[in-house]
Structure 1
């Protein structure tokens, strides 16, 4: 048995999309992809049934669709319907922890967007991605066949590719992936990186069985490829985008974030906001409602200044390394 564990650690494993066997569709509890794979889905709808706009939200790495519980409820009060699904390899999907590949993640959001748009014909559709989800949205929207979206909302999009990594982390990833791609690694206990000032929320995530606590090396390899593609995509977005970062960003390094901000700001249709009291998990921070109110304002009128003023303030990331 011990030898089996060693051998499994020496093999890279992925779960790309299979052959098409059905028409993609939405059920009451899931998005079913063309290969029959079920992605558990949550929805938050306006109480009066009057949908003014629709958001399809993608969660971050090792998280799942429950990440948008508070955001979905808040946006619903503004007439915005929010849909969020567990991306492949995360949450309550099969083969949890196994990386699906960038092409599969992009294919899923493209198909899911079509199904959500069909459910609410005539309502503008926005893709919202948090962290890794933002990287998926960026990559999808700059692909040869992008989803039909009216705009994107990028919440601390993960844009940390190899070219912006230091030599040591890049070398460690290369060695680990080539020697033991299947081994599961956990963040060092003394790693002093804070994702949010909402400590109770962070503790709840630690207790949540659907939040993945460790990562396979081959999954980290795949994530790095995705983040690199996302960084390259920042200057090529062709739809209006609301880009949000916290000044206390510690999960993502300062260099790629600053580069992304410059690329986004180069396009007149984009709005970039940096929140002086914000962290990586902006929507769930103690002052997350400020961010949610800005998102609702932007959806209503992408050309209107944000109420918080975060789109007109300093761009300094005070906590990034």
Structure 2
């Protein structure tokens, strides 16, 4: 019996640690300010200053894109696409989301609602500047998940359409049990622990020069808190569960060589999304040689051209034919092809 006491004490101590350490979110403060655009900054209602980049055509634009970066990235991700779209007569805006880039509370997770609310603020402010133009939301990875959650609620912003580039949809229900278990344990015991991802063998893009530049960029976060990863997973859960609630004309882009967001959750999301009742334009494009960072892959311009064509036509075939490939792979009898 005495031998059980040390074990019992250890269990009690472990429970105490787990109960005493919780993954935190760092939400916006009180809404004491008037949201506004100030040059290269979005000022939110709680006074947060989100760095803003923009790429404007030399003539009056015919459409506007508001772009959201992925996890640990920042607004500069849209530099090359933004330059391309400006030459097509499309104005583009991208801002650093809270906790990323030069935005406040770098490295800390603001919460899914905060990211969606900031997007709604950005849409409202930019729409005032271009009241007659169609506005499109474009999100890469985490940015795509933010857009999905923002466009799935009752107070969704009024936009002409959304473009989801490899959206972050790796929900817990599609993860292996040991992965979710480890994440929960670390988030509830060592939420401040930082992980670098070193040793993880994945290829986010075939654009090696671009990846090296990201590695040298001081504004790209290289070490991530566990509680921030936990918050990202919560966002992916929410986005994944919103497949049937997404009310927007949608262009979803996915690279078949994506090693960051697996095929299984993407395919499961698409099954629900494509069968949902809302009568909206739903275009899905699969790029056979595409990786996770589709917009910055070596074939990036092919994706930019598809986006431009989709915006200009509102629907119809994409120049690359990637939408036709998706139709083949998503056919009921071809579901196993996507897994191969």
TM-score between the two structures when normalised by the length of structure 1: 0.93
Deviation for aligned residue 1:11: 6.1
SS at match of 1:127: strand
* 1:18 aligned residue: 29
Q: Distance in 2 between matches of 1:320 and 1:212?
A: 31
Deviation for aligned residue 1:318: 8.6
Deviation for aligned residue 1:293: 0.3
Deviation for aligned residue 1:319: 9.7
Q: Does 1:171 align with 2:181?
A: yes
Q: Does 1:205 align with 2:195?
A: no
Matches within 5 A, 1:288-303: 288-303=300-315
8 Å contact from structure 2 (residues 109, 231) kept in 1: yes
Aligned residue among 91, 98, 109 for 1:88: 98
Aligned residue among 126, 130, 142 for 1:132: 142
Q: Distance in 2 between matches of 1:188 and 1:199?
A: 17
8 Å contact from structure 2 (residues 145, 236) kept in 1: yes
Q: Distance in 1 between matches of 2:216 and 2:339?
A: 27
For structure 1, which segment, 311-320 or 249-258, has the greater mean C-alpha deviation from structure 2 after superposition? 311-320
* 2:83 aligned residue: 73
The higher radius of gyration belongs to 2
SS at match of 2:241: helix
SS at match of 2:322: coil
Unpaired runs of 5+ residues, structure 2, are: 1-16, 331-335
* 2:226 aligned residue: 217
Q: Does 1:282 align with 2:294?
A: yes
Q: Structure 1 residues 146 and 214, CA, compared in 2 at 3 Å: closer, same or farther?
A: same
8 Å contact from structure 2 (residues 257, 290) kept in 1: yes
Q: Distance in 2 between matches of 1:62 and 1:318?
A: 32
Q: Distance in 1 between matches of 2:339 and 2:131?
A: 42
SS at match of 1:312: helix
Deviations 1:223-278 (A, max 9, x none): 00000111111222211000000011110122101112223333562000001111
Aligned residue among 222, 225, 240 for 1:231: 240
Q: Distance in 1 between matches of 2:271 and 2:211?
A: 30
8 Å contact from structure 1 (residues 273, 311) kept in 2: yes
Q: Structure 1 residues 26 and 223, CA, compared in 2 at 3 Å: closer, same or farther?
A: same
Aligned residue among 329, 337, 340 for 1:315: 329
Matches within 5 A, 1:22-171: 22-48=33-59, 50-171=60-181
Unpaired runs of 5+ residues, structure 1, are: 1-5
Deviations 1:271-300 (A, max 9, x none): 000011111000000000000000000011
| Aligned length in residues | 312
8 Å contact from structure 2 (residues 22, 188) kept in 1: no
Q: Whose helix proportion is higher, 1 or 2?
A: 2
Deviation for aligned residue 1:173: 0.4
Q: How large is the RMSD of aligned CA atoms in angstroms? A: 1.9
